[in-house]
Amino acid sequence: MKYYLYCILMWLFIFSQNAVAINKEREVIIAASASIPPYVFAKTDSGIHLGLIKAALKANGFANINVQYMSNKRAEHQLHNKGVDILLNYAGRSSPGIYPSKPVLSYENVAITLKRNKYNIDKIEGMFNKNVLAFQNATAYLPSIFKSNVKHFSSYQEVINQKAQVDKLLKGWVDVIVLDKRIFYYYYNQHKSPEAVQIYTLFPKAERPAYFNNFSLATEFDIGLALIKQNGTYKRIVDEGQTHSLIK
């Protein structure tokens, strides 16, 4: 494993020599959505996802880091127009001038119902004729089969507030919610007497890189990411975040 990481670091170092040199003292602006616990906490500029990105930058000498919070749509616009340097989540596919890093972490989107309803949702068709509440831009992030079948749901909405997703499910106002498993457990565990739920793994885990508009910065970030995986910082940040979300 150590040899493998060493090879990655050496390859990235050699590759970076061919990239345009970048000033590590410059300000690096990260665009993030408003708080997405346990991935992003706006009040403290922390969380699993944001923490990993900041740690990777710092490991490779970037100390002047500024996190700005905005909607996903505005963040993408800012990335394309050089208003920010790094974007945590990007709903678009490959785009000229946008450079994804190596995967930072994986999200695991799932479908969740109240256990007492005894639904059988082992595939997308199981959501037909049901009221479904998903996260913002779910049809862009999830496999295309999800988007093509939304028309068969009794109702379908996407929301920014994922705490509201969990609340509405537990109150019985919707039949199915679709969101990341860590996010669900973060809010679910805050309820004093949460009702039993059923979790369905319908979607593959989604690797999430960071997105850059500067190839050299993306390359330098990948070096830092490899470094924190090697020195244990990566595992520490993820473990601390999972403790907060109490995944079962």
Length of the chain: 248
Residue scoring higher pLDDT (54 or 92): 54
For residues 222 and 224, what is the distance between their CA atoms, to the nearest angstrom? 5
Range of the domain at 164: 109-200
Does 92 share its domain with 175?
no
Q: What was the pLDDT predicted at 194? A: 87
Task: Supply the mean pLDDT for the chain.
Answer: 90
Does 100 share its domain with 53?
yes
- Identify the band that residue 43 occupies on the pLDDT scale cut at 50, 70 and 90: very high
Q: What was the pLDDT predicted at 245? A: 54
Does 136 share its domain with 180?
yes
Q: What was the pLDDT predicted at 71? A: 87
Residue 78 above 70 pLDDT? yes
Residue 45 above 60 pLDDT? yes
Kindly report the pTM of this predicted structure: 0.82
| Segments of 128-219 assigned E as strands | 131-135, 155-159, 176-180, 197-200, 206-208, 211-212
Buried b (16+ CB within 10 A) or exposed e, 120-139: ebeebebbeebbbbbbbebb
Does 128 share its domain with 239?
no
Instruction: Using a pLDDT cut of 70, give the percent of the chain over it.
Output: 88
105-107 and 28-32 as β-strands: parallel, antiparallel, unpaired? unpaired
Tens digits of residue pLDDT in 141-178 = 999 999 999 999 999 999 989 999 999 999 999 999 99
| Phi, psi (degrees; rounded to nearest 5) at 219 | -65, -45
Does 195 share its domain with 117?
yes
Q: What was the pLDDT predicted at 15? A: 47
Does 116 share its domain with 237?
no
Q: Is the dihedral of CA 242, 245, 246, 248 positive or negative?
A: negative
Tens digits of residue pLDDT in 100-154 = 999 999 999 999 999 999 999 999 999 999 999 999 889 999 999 999 999 999 9
For residues 119 and 121, what is the distance between their CA atoms, to the nearest angstrom? 6
Grouping H, G, I as helix, E, B as strand and the rest as coil, residue 40 is strand
Does 43 share its domain with 98?
yes
For residues 234 and 68, what is the distance between their CA atoms, to the nearest angstrom? 23
Please give the tally of structural domains in the chain: 2
Does 196 share its domain with 222?
no
- Identify the band that residue 244 occupies on the pLDDT scale cut at 50, 70 and 90: low
- The CATH code of the domain that includes 187 is 3.40.190.10
Q: What was the pLDDT predicted at 243? A: 58
